[in-house]
Chain A
Amino acid sequence: MAGNPERPARRTARAAIVLAAAAIAAFGLVAVVHEATRDRIAATARARELARFDQVLGGLPHDNDLLADTLTLRDPELLGTTEAVTAYRARFHGQPVAVVLEFGATDGYSGSIRLLLAVAPDGTVLGVRTVSHHETPGLGDFIDAGKSDWMQRFSGKSLGNPAAARWRVRKDGGEFDQYTGATITSRAVVGAIGRTLQLFARHRDELLAAPATIQP
């Protein structure tokens, strides 16, 4: 080391300062963009959630904010999973008109199938939609509303129609036709809907009760 002993230290210090400046500049860019887009992102996320509810509710009139009127249910013994079911309650003039339940079918072919189920206060299914899934494209994606109308068969059904034990695919002695070539997906969806209807029946009073926070 014949050279000036200060040089390497200064070099390092300069590099550190440049790196810090670059980090601050990058952080600044992200902060500005985040600030500019935050409200819009929140608004679009909210609009998308509400649009999903409209799909399962089929235009049923309601006048409350579903996203603010929720309840979380857990029933590992019935559902076979510790995953929570989120219930969004739709009301019209203060009266409950439907409950939208969001839950997962965990025994599908590939990962969890997220479903949205709207139930009328008397337990009748108003509509079912798939929120997200990882089933095989072309085989298991018949559960997408845009791909086939298979999911529409649940509308108008309830736990008594057919009976709870008949909420299975036909192959397992149930009421519902499995989709050809995708029995596992069909079985998972039918089973999860049946179990969630039982969950609704168990917690019906709680789900249809008035909101916990009553406006003064």
Chain B
Amino acid sequence: MTPAAILRAGFRDQNPGLVQLLGLCPLLAVTTSLGSGLGLGLATLAVLIASNGLVSLVGRSLPAEIRIAVFVLLIAALVTAVELALAAWLPGLHAALGIFLPLIVTNCLVLARAEAFASRQPVGDALLDGFAMGGGFLVVLVALGSVREVLGRGSLGGDLHLLLGSGGPTSGLHLFNGQHGFLLALLPPGAFILLGLGLAWRQSCQATAAASSAGTGVTSGMPGEAAS
């Protein structure tokens, strides 16, 4: 695969959040704000790049019987390392992400990329795939977190200081009084509905692209999030 194809797969064609639907549990649970979505996205991205790199280095020399076991061990160790590092340097973010930080171990995206891609590819491609898949996941987390925070709390980036430390902006962008927020957006059903709209938006983009490449000339619209 060419680097461009790997990037395209992660961010668009095989996007973990919108196409493969991998790792939905953290995706839906954590994205109540831009800050926590970005935090978990970055943590997952770091784990994915590191695990893809390591798996690519050792993967082919492993006996088939224990390959998955070794991958799980590596991923668990990496996630623990990331969790400890966050607890030490970004304790606020560590507290906000809570149980979903150690649960990156069980994010099937990480093991899926290790087994399906990294174990059969050279290190460079595996690292790039980790970046592309993790980045694609991060983009969906951030988008969903932003929409839910704006609708539910009337702010954007209200807890970014957890990531940036006390030097960053402390209150984020205030759009309207959080008391009049759309509560459903913050609750799990709202997350499912918004993700569904995101899926529909992506499908419609795909259909439009397919139609225009077939020469029927359908004008592209932007349905989806604006309607929510």
Contact = CB atoms under 8 A, between A and B. Distances in A.
Interface of A: 11, 14-15, 18-19, 22-23, 25-27, 29-30, 33-34, 37, 40-41, 44-45, 48, 136-139, 147
Closest 7 CB pairs of A and B: A26-B77, A37-B88, A40-B88, A138-B183, A33-B81, A15-B63, A137-B186
B77 A27 contact: yes
14 contacts: A11-B63, A14-B63, A18-B62, A19-B70, A22-B70, A26-B76, A29-B78, A30-B80, A37-B85, A40-B88, A41-B88, A48-B91, A137-B186, A137-B187
B102 interface: no
A40 B78 CA distance: 19
Contacts of B62: 18
Interface of B: 32, 58, 62-63, 65-66, 69-70, 73-74, 76-78, 80-81, 84-85, 87-89, 91, 152-153, 178, 181, 183, 186-187
A137 B63 contact: no
A29 B77 contact: yes
Nearest to A29: B77
Given A26-B77, A27-B77, A147-B178, A139 B85 contact: no
B173 to A, nearest CB: 16
Contact of B66 (A15, A30, A33): A15
B56 to A, nearest CB: 15
A158 to B, nearest CB: 30
A19 B74 contact: no
A135 to B, nearest CB: 12
Nearest to B64: A15
Nearest to A42: B88
A34 to B, nearest CB: 6
A171 to B, nearest CB: 20
A33 B76 contact: no
A26 B73 contact: yes
Contacts of A48: 91
Contacts, number: 68
A21 to B, nearest CB: 9
A36 to B, nearest CB: 8
Contact of A137 (B65, B66, B91, B183): B183
B157 to A, nearest CB: 14
Contacts of B73: 19, 22-23, 26
Contacts of A34: 84
A37 B94 CA distance: 14
A18 B63 contact: yes
B77 A30 contact: yes
A29 B91 CA distance: 21
B219 to A, nearest CB: 38
Contacts of A30: 77, 80-81, 84
Given A22-B66, A26-B76, A48-B91, 4 more contacts: A15-B65, A29-B78, A44-B87, A137-B152
Contacts of B178: 138, 147
Nearest to A40: B88
A11 B63 CA distance: 8
Nearest to A132: B95
Contacts of A18: 62-63, 66, 70
Nearest to A16: B66
A23 B178 CA distance: 48
Nearest to B61: A18
A19 B84 contact: no
